[in-house]
Amino acid sequence: MCLSLPCTDKDEWQLEFPFCGGQKQSPINIDTNSTIFSHELQPIVLAGYSLDPSEQLSLMNNGHTVVLQLPGSLTIASGYPQEYRAMQLHLHWGSPEGPGSEHTVDGRRYDGEIHMVYYNPSCGSIKEAMKQPGGLAVLAAFLQVGPEDNMHYQPLLEQLHKVQEEGKETTVAGFNIEGLLPANLGRYYRYSGSLTTPPCYQTVNWTVFNWTVLLSKEQISLLETTLQGDDDTDLQNNFRLTQRLHGRKVLASFQ
């Protein structure tokens, strides 16, 4: 069974996780000629993201990605009709041989992708929200090589060596989490999809920002070459291949 990513586009996951074979799967390719402008899509406004350094956050290598647990006090104050509270953020990346974003735009794969995962508290517990349409939201932004270090990412990247092996965990002092996202949160794509990993629940309200996040080549390389997954192999290319739309529409907050 294909559990190491990227999986073939005939995901073998569906043998054990039936939703993975569903018709509202993620990630997708965003065809910018087919997106539909919606003036209802207001800028994303975040609340409570400047965390005090006294707050300690768990950073873990779970064998598939590196996950930073986030306090539920981080919310999406505007941009969705429902209330969403933060759960965790994690990253997807490629290897020195190629890029590793999950979503693509007009067929272009970016160097990496950050996902901030939220749940809708009116759906009950996280476990219950995960199984309800609109129960989850993910804010996604592309990571791209740029000319200089992105200091907002240093609190994460400088700890990677402490979680090199699968299962390793460390703590990160609170920092400005919003700095991990693009400066412009008003330009984004919106569609209904799924988790990109088993159990692939089709309950995710996706936001994919149009502006990218620039990191230096050294920072991207650190991400690509530091972590190990199952049986000490390099943790690289942890992206799922793009899935068919099956008639879904992708909205855009901009023209």
Ligand X SMILES: NS(=O)(=O)c1c(F)c(F)c(SCCc2ccc(C(=O)O)cc2)c(F)c1NC1CCCCCCC1
Binding region for ligand X (CB under 6 A) out of 78-86, 157-165, 189-197, 244-252: 189-197
User: What is the Cβ-side half-sphere exposure of residue 218, based on CA atoms within 13 angstroms?
Assistant: 7
Element (H, E) at 16: helix 13-16
Binding region for ligand X (CB under 6 A) out of 6-14, 149-157, 169-177, 191-199: 191-199
Near Zn ion in 146-175, by CB under 5 A:
none
Question: Is residue 208 a contact partner of residue 196, using CB atoms and an 8 Å limit?
Answer: no
Residue 146-185 contact track with ligand X, rule CB under 6 A, x = bound: ----------------------------------------
Q: Which residues pair with 193 in a beta bridge?
A: 204
Q: Is 64 a residue of the active site?
A: yes
Q: With binding defined as CB under 6 A, does residue 28 bind ligand X? A: no
Which of 143, 151, 152 lies closest to 208 in space, CA to CA? 143
Q: Active site residue: 64, 90, 103, 115, which one?
A: 64
Which of 24, 85, 109, 115 contacts ligand X by CB under 6 A? 115
Q: Where are the beta strands (DSSP E) in 26-101?
A: 29-30, 36-37, 45-47, 56-61, 66-69, 75-78, 85-93
Q: With binding defined as CB under 6 A, does residue 253 bind ligand X? A: no
Which of 24, 109, 115, 240 contacts Zn ion by CB under 5 A? 115
Pairing of strands 66-69, 136-146: unpaired
Binding region for Zn ion (CB under 5 A) out of 24-32, 110-118, 146-154, 247-255: 110-118
Which of 20, 44, 114, 117 contacts ligand X by CB under 6 A? 117
Q: With binding defined as CB under 6 A, does residue 195 bind ligand X? A: yes
Which of 214, 182, 187, 189 lies closest to 32 in space, CA to CA? 189
Q: Which two tokens stand for residue 215?
A: 């990191």
Near ligand X in 217-246, by CB under 6 A:
none
Distance CA(206)–CA(250), nearest Å, equals 10
For 128, the 3-state DSSP assignment is: helix
- Footprint of ligand X on this chain (CB under 6 A)? 62, 64-65, 67, 87-88, 90, 115, 117, 130, 138, 195-197
Active-site residues, by number, are: 64
